[in-house]
Chain A
Amino acid sequence: QSALTQPPSASGSPGQSVTISCSGTSSDIGGYNFVSWYQQHPGKAPKLIISEVDKRPSGVPDRFSGSKSVNTASLTVSGLQAEDEADYYCSSYAGYKLVFGGGTKVTVL
C-alpha cells in the first residue's frame, strides 16, 4: 500500500484538461513544499515534470501545472495531447525518506 493516495485512472479527450489528486498527511505533503510529479510511459524510466509543488523543469510544457492545499497535491494537464497518455506518480519528501503515490493511468480518449 502506497503512502500517498492517487486515483488509479483518469481520462479526457484531446484538448480537455484532467486533474489528478494526491492525498497525504501532515508528515509528508502537508509538512513540506517538496511535492514532485513524474510521468512514465510504458517500458520507460519515469520523467520529472513538476518539482517543489509547482515548478516545471526546463523542457516540460506549460500544459503541466501543480498545486497543493493542506495535505493534498494536484497535477493538472491542460490541452490534453495523445502523448500525455501515461502513468503519473506523485511523491513527497517526508523527513528522512521519500514517499510515492500508487500512480494514476491517464488515458486520452
Chain B
Amino acid sequence: EVQLVESGGGLVKPGESLRLSCAYSGFRFGELWMTWVRQAPGKGLEWVGRIRDKPNRGATDYAAPVKGRFTMSLDESKNTLFLQMNRLTVDDIGIYFCTTYTSGACLVWGPGTLVAVSS
C-alpha cells in the first residue's frame, strides 16, 4: 500500500526558509512521479510542482509563483522527497500535501503539513 507522510512545517518569518519532507512507502522512486500541492486557509488547491520518475531523470517543474524559490529533491536511501522553500512570504501560507502523480492525476495524498509565515 502506498503511503505518504509530510513533516517539517512550522512558523517562520517572511524571507526565511523551510524544508518540508515527505516520507513515502509502498513504492520505489522511479515507479511514480510525485507532486506538491498546497492549500491556503479556507481556499482551494494550488499545484506547487512535480518531480518525474527515473526514466525521466527526476526532472522537476514548478508553478510560476514558486519558481526560483522552491526546489524539490529526493533521497532514495531514506525514501524521502524534500521541498526546500526559500524567501517565504505570506502568500506561501497553507497546508502542503505531497502526492503520487500519474496521467495528470494526484493519486495518493499525505495528510499534509502546515506552513505559517508571520513577522
Contacts and interface: CB of A to CB of B under 8 A. Distances in A.
Given A38-B45, A89-B44, A97 B63 contact: yes
A46 B110 CA distance: 9
Interface string B72-115: 00000000000000000000000001000001111111111000
A92 B62 CA distance: 16
Contact of A36 (B46, B50, B104): B104
A4 to B, nearest CB: 10
Contacts of B105: 34, 36, 48, 51-52, 91
Contacts, number: 64
B47 interface: yes
Interface residues of B, number: 20
By CB atoms of chain A within 10 A, which of B46, B104, B112 has the most?
B104
Main secondary structure of the interface of B (DSSP, over half): strand
A102 B63 CA distance: 16
B21 interface: no
Contacts of A32: 104
Contact of B104 (A34, A38, A101, A103): A34
A109 interface: no
A10 interface: no
A63 B21 CA distance: 36
A100 B105 CA distance: 11
Contacts of B109: 45-48
B107 A57 contact: yes
B46 A45 contact: no
Interface string A1-21: 010000000000000000000
Contacts of A36: 104-106
Interface of A: 2, 32, 34-36, 38, 45-48, 51-52, 57, 89, 91-93, 96-103
Interface of B: 35, 37, 44-47, 50, 61, 63, 97, 103-112
Given A36-B105, A97-B63, A103-B45, 12 more contacts: A45-B112, A46-B109, A91-B105, A91-B106, A92-B104, A96-B61, A97-B47, A98-B37, A98-B104, A99-B47, A100-B45, A100-B46
